[in-house]
Amino acid sequence: MTATTDENGGVTGSPTLVPTHAGEPAADEYGTRAVAEQATVRAVQHLLARQDEQGWWKGDLQTNVTMDAEDLLLREFLGIRDAATTEATARHIRSEQQPDGTWATFHGGPGELSTTIEAYLALRLAGDQPDAPHMAGAAAWVREQGGIAASRVFTRIWLALFGWWRWEDLPEMPPEIIFLPKWFPLSIHNFGCWARQTIVPLTVVSAERPVRPAPFSLHELRAEPSPFRPRPGEGRRSVWDAVFRRVDRLARSYRKVAVRPLRRAALGACARWIVERQENDGCWGGIQPPAVYSVIALHLLGYDLGHPVLRAGLESLDAFAVRGGDGSRMVEACQSPVWDTCLATIALADAGLRPDHPALVKAADWMLGEQVVRRGDWAVQRPQLAPGGWAFEFHNDNYPDIDDTAEVVLALRRVRHPDPERVERAVRRAVRWTLGMQSGNGGWAAFDADNTGSFPGRLPFCDFGEVTDPPSADVTAHVVEMLAVEGVKDGARARRGVSWLLREQEPGGSWFGRWGVNHVYGTGAVVPALIAAGIDPAHAAIRRAVRWLVSVQNDDGGWGEDLRSYREEDWIGRGASTASQTAWALLALIAAGERDTDAVTRGVDWLARTQREDGSWDEPWFTGTGFPWDFSINYHLYRQVFPLTALGRYLQGDPVAPGGRLAHDSRAT
């Protein structure tokens, strides 16, 4: 049985199948295929019901409470914080506090110092008193970890804005870096796009050093002097670390001798740079942190809150708020409609929805309308390359990304659109742009080409996570898979991508996941791509990957990997079973020809057994990655789209693998 539709587009399935529910074993008398069919039907119905009338899908993008805390701190700094927003935000922050008084950066993770400090600040703004049990517990833990002095630079910048920390004791990044040429190691174009968008406004803030009157003291978060305890990663210092500490001292010293006309020119150039990159909806890059700092920077440079730029910026931040049924307010760091829509389209098509189904055509129309046809910052490295990518968000024309572009093309090729020439034009532009964004080592990164410098990440100012954008296995795999579908898998660029992937395989057989957690994600992306590119399932690399996946399967039949695997090898491939990670493992195994093995059967049974009655899956664990370990994401739609894709391919095969539907539909591009 496949997930088919009736004359009205509704999903139908065999009425004789008995559904299985969470916590119940799969019904042996019907077999794994039967329960997979029933689970697929329910999942298709659930996903179709979630489509917006405009054609897109979007799940909540949950991160950690620093987004919510900094939103309140911004409003306090600007003098626009209101009681209703404060209490709704505080309700969400309180709900995320762990029993030991801390806040973590991912579900079930250890307490994190800077996150806990910022959450504490937000609750103080909301009126929670230091002697309340939940506040006293948090403060005691912060002091045990070294107090606010041990927090990251970005947290101490927020503290400095209110006089809780001295600007003189912070690393300095002068706004004059805006003038550095692109070949200079510390040019802003040598930072990843997310870091670039954040650092430029922060240079303005650092130069202006504003202080608003603190609404309360923070003496309870200051630890007693104690022997120096380095933050993670600071214990192994190299010669280069000493060099960059000296660079930081020079930057701070430069402030005293900065030529005033040059400083004014630099601040003006930063302001123009920020304004030019504001999107049509008022945000910056479609992500919250650059928007927060851009609003502060422009306000410090004389833009009043009624100015159209700031008014639109603040309105865009309001659009990132998700209201809970309990009256809480969670702020998304970003919104993911393009990513969610292309993944949902792939899932529904691979589950058997007919290619001209109205939902798929509507999704394709919306995606076609979102193609970015203007040049962005990526053109600094590729000035002759014509645009043609897709971004992740609703509005982000400056920073389309390669990952979304590859997956959108894969989604469009699954749809029978009434205007095929329109699709062909869009795909041709996308493929040309993607090929042109290949880095020199043969891989593909997310946003830029050859953004691999090591200098930016060594600056003391940059302690907030990844600050460059080197090629990754997961993005490269998605591109290779897309090129295979487009009939250019034997082209020189595609073959270089395949070679890069084979070189990047870990000794144990997995691949590192840059944008998903972690080795299960990387392996789940790479194996299907290599098979689509013509690598034989018997190839040694594929066999190593299969053995690794089987070796880390949980006893319950699922797969899971904790975010601690980014730091601790013992966690690689280990963690509570999740729907999305189980699906990623199944996608790799099915592509490798393991469909009828015990590992796949047990994995499919786990998905069917844990599906909820409404066709969805529950997944509190974070399986997405912004910065490995430092910034984690729970994409609420991952738990729906990836299990449905895996079930569909279990029932109908991988459409991109040799012999699959799309493998025969080659196009010379």
Q: For residue range 271-328, list pLDDT tens digits in order.
A: 999 999 999 899 998 898 899 999 999 999 999 999 999 999 999 999 999 999 999 9
Distance CA 498, CA 627 (A): 25
Residues 351 and 311 reside in one and the same domain = no
- The answer to whether the CB of 191 falls within 8 A of the CB of 445 is no
Read off the pLDDT band of 582 (50, 70, 90): very high
Helix (H, G, I), strand (E, B) or coil at 330: strand
Question: Which residues does the annotation mark as catalytic?
Answer: 403
Residues 340 and 477 reside in one and the same domain = yes
User: What CATH number has the domain bearing residue 17?
Assistant: 1.50.10.20
> What per-residue confidence (pLDDT) applies to 225?
54
Largest Cα–Cα distance in the chain? 81
DSSP state of 327: S
Residues 479 and 341 reside in one and the same domain = yes
Q: Which residue has the higher pLDDT, 14 or 33?
A: 33
Residues 314 and 426 reside in one and the same domain = no
Region 543-553: mean pLDDT is: 98
**45 phi-psi bin (left φ>0, alpha ψ -120 to 50, beta other):** alpha
- What are the Cα distances from residue 58, in Å, to 321, 340, 401, 577, 627? 14, 6, 18, 24, 21
> What per-residue confidence (pLDDT) applies to 231?
45
The residue among 420, 413, 423 whose CA lies nearest residue 342 is: 413
Read off the pLDDT band of 186 (50, 70, 90): confident
> What per-residue confidence (pLDDT) applies to 5?
46
Domains identified in the chain, total number: 2
> What per-residue confidence (pLDDT) applies to 465?
73
Residues 267 and 250 reside in one and the same domain = yes
Read off the pLDDT band of 254 (50, 70, 90): low
Structure tokens at 439: 């880095």
Name the domain boundary from 331, 346, 379: 331
The answer to whether residue 217 sits within a structural domain is yes
Structure tokens at 341: 């829509």
Phi/psi at 331 (nearest 5 deg)? -100, 120
**Is pLDDT above 60 for 1?**
no
Residues 249 and 390 reside in one and the same domain = no
- The answer to whether the CB of 381 falls within 8 A of the CB of 424 is no
The answer to whether residue 460 sits within a structural domain is no
Residues 67 and 55 reside in one and the same domain = no
The answer to whether residue 289 sits within a structural domain is yes
Structure tokens at 586: 């199944």
Read off the pLDDT band of 252 (50, 70, 90): low
The answer to whether residue 520 sits within a structural domain is yes
pLDDT tens-digit map of 386-417: 999 999 999 899 999 999 999 999 999 999 99
Residues 550 and 636 reside in one and the same domain = yes
Read off the pLDDT band of 659 (50, 70, 90): confident
> What per-residue confidence (pLDDT) applies to 233?
44
Distance CA 377, CA 397 (A): 10
> What per-residue confidence (pLDDT) applies to 454?
79
Domain extent at residue 78: 62-223+235-331
The answer to whether residue 20 sits within a structural domain is yes
Proportion of the chain above pLDDT 70, given as a percent? 89
Distance CA 344, CA 347 (A): 5
Region 483-495: mean pLDDT is: 94
Name the domain boundary from 299, 331, 363: 331
The answer to whether residue 386 sits within a structural domain is yes
Residues 515 and 546 reside in one and the same domain = yes
Region 469-483: mean pLDDT is: 97
- The answer to whether the CB of 549 falls within 8 A of the CB of 523 is yes
Average pLDDT, the chain: 90
**Is pLDDT above 70 for 28?**
no
Run of H or E residues at 478:
helix 473-485
Distance CA 139, CA 147 (A): 8
- The answer to whether the CB of 59 falls within 8 A of the CB of 342 is no
0.95 surpassed by pTM: no
Read off the pLDDT band of 224 (50, 70, 90): low
Residues 6+ apart with CB under 8 A from 283: 291, 313, 316, 317, 319, 393, 395, 396
- What are the Cα distances from residue 155, in Å, to 83, 95, 161? 24, 21, 10
Helix (H, G, I), strand (E, B) or coil at 334: strand
Read off the pLDDT band of 223 (50, 70, 90): confident
Read off the pLDDT band of 260 (50, 70, 90): confident
Residues 51 and 113 reside in one and the same domain = no
pLDDT tens-digit map of 52-100: 999 999 999 999 999 999 999 999 999 999 999 999 999 999 999 999 9
Residues 253 and 347 reside in one and the same domain = no
The answer to whether residue 400 sits within a structural domain is yes
Name the domain boundary from 275, 307, 331: 331
> What per-residue confidence (pLDDT) applies to 249?
63
- The answer to whether the CB of 21 falls within 8 A of the CB of 39 is no
Residues 285 and 350 reside in one and the same domain = no
Q: Around 315, how many Cα atoms within 13 Å sit in the side-chain half-sphere?
A: 12
The answer to whether residue 456 sits within a structural domain is no
- Long-range pairs for 217-221: beta carbons < 8 A, 24 or more residues apart: 218/121, 218/148, 218/159, 218/164, 220/130, 220/139, 220/143, 221/117, 221/120, 221/139, 221/142, 221/143, 221/147, 221/148
